[in-house]
Structure 1
């Protein structure tokens, strides 16, 4: 397909993972938003099924087919989605409605059921009634449908609510008590609810505090919903993530936004490239995120990276002074590869990390910086930019790409960092727990390097791997 990946709606069925997604063609003559589909078993090889839910005509309520869900009920499949038409609405904006389609079991063939369409219930804003997600709390229990909604009355930026309806037949829906009222966000997009062991999870995306996918945990399907210590899936560049359980594993699939003008200085855009992370559950319900094993295994041509000191650094990491910046550089790496770094970090070390896309002297680079003093990982770039010709006119008051930071436990000792580079996108995973996805257009000469600031570390291993086929 030609276009960009918007919200992904994953569905596990018949031994495959079906990834429905909003196809953003960015046409000068918009013809609505359809759902397209790819399927996979390993997130390495994909089958493209094309458009499977076409946009409605110019005057239809589903001119834009926005986010929803797909479920199985016996031999029949049900697809719930958001209908939107910019030409339908009032002075407050265009309405959103819940639409329904069915299939006899083939995920590529759907029949719309327009007679089952319904809009916002009383007390809710009709312009925000979207992203239906349908589930059961147990077999035989009534179906529940949650939506991204907003109360008609209340502070504009704090009236978002996860609205809820119930049904026994997937056709007639009755409004119920909201699932969650945080009094914090404009709304909670793309809600996703699932049970994992003794914990229930509510996943949502918000654009109030930050453009991030967050989650809450509870012991009961009705809550109370509590914030874990790390309540975000990733950073700004992994948005609208929804999850799917497949063969006893849980995957989160989102999209990496492009930037306007294909420029690092351009604003983030809606839609981009598909990205996936696998979740693992910690004892307190917190989720850890890693690259799926199948993705890592696809990069099977492994080479050791040979590093050389720059700017007077010691011959090898761990041999130099503790009160300076030291860096070591290797050869350029392919634009598509998997980088794996294992280091032992000494107590008191201020920062360490990888130089990506670096020049031959390390003066310019995309900087992946891990900061033990702050227990966080950030994406930086050097130089960050200039405000004028004088030597002091640099953007030194910008500490890093502010939207690309994650809380990350970094105690002294061993840490493993993996970076998956794929053209202009990158996915970082620290200790198979914390993920930070990014996009970088200005890639310089492409050298790979290691650095440490005000501290020391011992390099255990640094490799780069490419796909064998």
Structure 2
């Protein structure tokens, strides 16, 4: 394999004209004995890779070969792994496009495979679970998520389904089936049917400190990974008032996994067509792992997993150069630009590095942020993370903006602290950018950029830089570079 096995895993290089399904798709994480196994979609089959720290990935292997065009799993797709009485059960989706419109056949069906060791899997040819048209429409029937519900003392299977008599693009719902033995299933309930989405894909469900969470992905507006909250598994499932997403529109099909102490959200970050900044989003990408945080009000935020943060320990030397605006350089750095934009370069950076900063601002300030990949005599190249204070949002921007299709700024809403400061962590890995502002994440892409420099900017106001460091990883030689470098 010629992909990346360092932090942002993917099985292949990016390249122009990369077809659908060549990168990681729909991660299905499973944890046991200190090892996270990520099953994922690749080339219409199911593959797996392992990690102990979300930094290094190995033991790449195929899990299930797809079937023939006459079999239900002509394309093997999303599901989940659950262990019962020493055996591992993988419930997954079988797509057979040739069945579309054929009487008595279904394009989507739920299938099962069994393993003794998570390495060798055998398809259970005796099992096929087709759409339950007594309770649901036969249109969508996929993404089985199986877990043990300690409250109900039963195995639960969540299924991406549609209301039986619902409107075509508003009938996405969560079907639930139950089992005592993980083998035989019966209808239980429909726990979430908001009449908003065409589907609620790649669902997951878990309890945390007395609250229940239902995560899912949808594409009614754009690719988004979302969640709902309830006081019990039965609902009602409520949408968080301020923000129901975990990341931006690059991040999709995420599911969670727990080691018994922390819970992580594992999804993929989309690549762009032809590896260009103005290219359309392409299905599949690199692995992104966020650690979930439960806020005081029960809503969820995310942070960078500690194991990834600990990988970046080698500081790069500062080279402070004020560029425009007024800057006072001391133990902390203060900057003013009352009439517009001001910025200061602080440090060179590497293609793979982590920037850690704490910024403060005055009440009237419109925006502050981090600049990175700065290059050129007239700053012809740059990327920036904007904290738009008055608009309560963070924005990822690049130089060279155009009006081409699919070229826009990634952004997320955020509640800035009343104390008017933010803790920022920014990771770059060639074209990948992942940002955390307090407990809000935003990922993006910046193709064909040189490493350049990094620094801070302010617009129409004042900024104080309490902390600003750039770190490279401890094992840079393990990186398999993306073609964007």
The two structures have a TM-score, normalised by structure 1, of: 0.90
Match of 2:202 in 1: 190
CA contact (8 A) 2:325 2:335 kept: no
2:307 maps to 294
- The change in CA–CA distance for 1:91 and 1:376 in structure 2 (over 3 A counts) is farther
Residues 29-50 of structure 1, C-alpha deviation per residue, up to 9 Å, x if partnerless? xxxx111111111111222231
Aligned to 1:161: 173
Shift of 1:153: 2.8
Mapped pair 1:116 → 2:122: no
Deviation at 1:94, TM superposition (A): 6.2
Residues 12-411 of structure 1: matches in 2 within 5 Å? 12-24=31-43, 33-90=44-101, 95-104=107-116, 106-122=117-133, 123-138=135-150, 141-228=153-240, 229-314=242-327, 316=329, 318-360=334-376, 361-385=378-402, 401-402=408-409, 404-411=410-417
Tell me the secondary structure at the aligned position of residue 138 of structure 2.
strand
Instruction: Using the TM superposition, name which of 252-261 and 172-181 deviates more.
Output: 172-181
Q: Distance in 2 between matches of 1:254 and 1:273?
A: 8
Structure 1 Cα separation of the partners of residues 137 and 95 of structure 2: 14
Matching residue of 1:428: 435
Moved more, 87-96 or 236-245: 87-96
1-structure distance, mates of 2:115, 2:174: 27
Cα drift, residue 137 of structure 1: 2.3
Instruction: Report if the CA contact (8 A) 1:345-1:415 is conserved.
Output: no
Q: Per the alignment, do residues 307 and 94 of structure 1 end up closer, same or farther by CA in structure 2, a change over 3 Å counting?
A: farther
Instruction: Report which structure shows greater RCO (CA 8 Å, sep ≥6).
Output: 2
Give the direction of change, closer, same or farther, for the CA distance of 1:139–1:103 in structure 2 (3 Å limit).
Answer: farther
State the match for 2:461 in structure 1.
Answer: 455
Q: Match for 1:443 among 429, 444, 449?
A: 449
| Higher mean C-alpha deviation, range 144-153 or range 367-376 | 144-153
Specify which of 464, 471, 475 is matched with residue 465 of structure 1: 471
Further displaced range: 171-180 or 333-342:
171-180
TM-score, reference length from structure 2: 0.87
Deviation (angstroms), 1:174: 1.6
How many residues of Structure 1 are paired with residues of Structure 2 in the alignment? 448
Contact 2:351–2:450, Cα closer than 8 Å, also in 1? no
The 2-side partners of 1:376 and 1:94 are apart by 44
Report the equivalent of 1:28.
Answer: none
**Unpaired segments ≥5 residues, structure 2:** 2-10, 13-22, 476-485
Once the two structures are superposed, what CA deviation does each residue of 1:88-121 show, in whole Å capped at 9, x if it has no partner? 22179961000011122x1111111121111101
CA shift for structure 1 position 79 = 0.6
Q: Which residue of 1 aligns with 2:424?
A: 417
In 2: Cα distance, 1:420 partner to 1:5 partner: 20
Shift of 1:444: 4.9
Pick closer, same or farther for the CA change 1:378–1:265 going to 2, 3 Å.
Answer: same
Contact in 2 for aligned 1:365/1:444 (Cα 8 Å) = no
Q: Over aligned residue pairs, what C-alpha RMSD do you find?
A: 2.2
Counterpart CA distance in 2 for 1:181 and 1:312 is 53
| Residues in 2 aligned to 1:188 and 1:62: alpha-carbon distance in whole angstroms | 21
Give the secondary-structure state (helix, strand or coil) at the position aligned to 2:308.
Answer: helix
User: Do the aligned residues in 1 keep the contact of 2:144 with 2:160 (CA within 8 Å)?
Assistant: yes
